[in-house]
Amino acid sequence: MGKIIDMKDDNDAIDPQRRAFLGVAAGVTAAVTVAPGVLLHTVDAAPRAEPVTSDVRWGLLIDTAKCVDGCSACVDACHHENGLNLQTMPAEQAVKKWETQKPAWVRKVKLQDNQTGRMTTLPLMCQHCDDPPCVDVCPTGASFKRADGIVMVDRHLCIGCRYCMMACPYKARSFIHGDVHGQLTSVPRGKGCVESCNLCVQRRDFGQESTACVDACAAEGHHAIVFGDLKDPDSTICKLLNEMPSRQLREDLVLNTGVRYSGV
Partner 1 sequence: MAKSVLTVGLVALGLVWALAQTAQADDMKRYVVAGSQAAKLESCVEPTELMRRQHMEFIKHQRIATVHEGIRIEKYSLSGCVDCHISYNAEQIPQPINQADQFCGACHAFAAVNLNCFDCHAAVPNGTPLDAAAMAAHDAAGVAAQVQSHRDGENH
Q: Is 191 a residue that touches partner 1 (CB under 8 A)?
A: yes
Judged by CB under 8 A, how many residues of this single chain contact partner 1? 39
Question: String of b and e for 34-66 (b: at least 16 CB within 10 Å)?
Answer: eeeeeeeeeeeeeeeeeebeeebbbbbbbbbee
**DSSP code at position 42:** -
Beta bridge partners of 187: 184
Q: Is 146 a residue that touches partner 1 (CB under 8 A)?
A: yes
Burial of 32 (0-12, 13-18, 19+ CB in 10 A): exposed
Q: Where are the alpha helices (DSSP H) in 51-183?
A: 73-82, 95-101, 133-137, 163-167
Q: Which amino acid, residue 164?
A: C
Q: Which of residues 149-188 bind partner 1 (CB under 8 A)?
A: 152, 154-156, 179-186, 188
CA atoms within 13 A of residue 197's CA, in its CB half-sphere? 29
Q: Report the residue number, 57 or 260, with the smaller CB distance to partner 1.
A: 57
What would the x/- binding string for partner 1 be over residues 40 to 79, using CB under 8 A? xx-x-x-xxxxxx---------------------------
Q: Report the residue number, 3 or 41, with the smaller CB distance to partner 1.
A: 41
User: Closest distance between partner 1 and the C-beta of residue 77, in Å?
Assistant: 12
User: Closest distance between partner 1 and the C-beta of residue 256, in Å?
Assistant: 21
User: Closest distance between partner 1 and the C-beta of residue 117, in Å?
Assistant: 40
Binding residues for partner 1, rule: CB under 8 A, are 40-41, 43, 45, 47-52, 80, 83, 85-86, 144, 146-148, 152, 154-156, 179-186, 188-191, 193, 201, 204-206
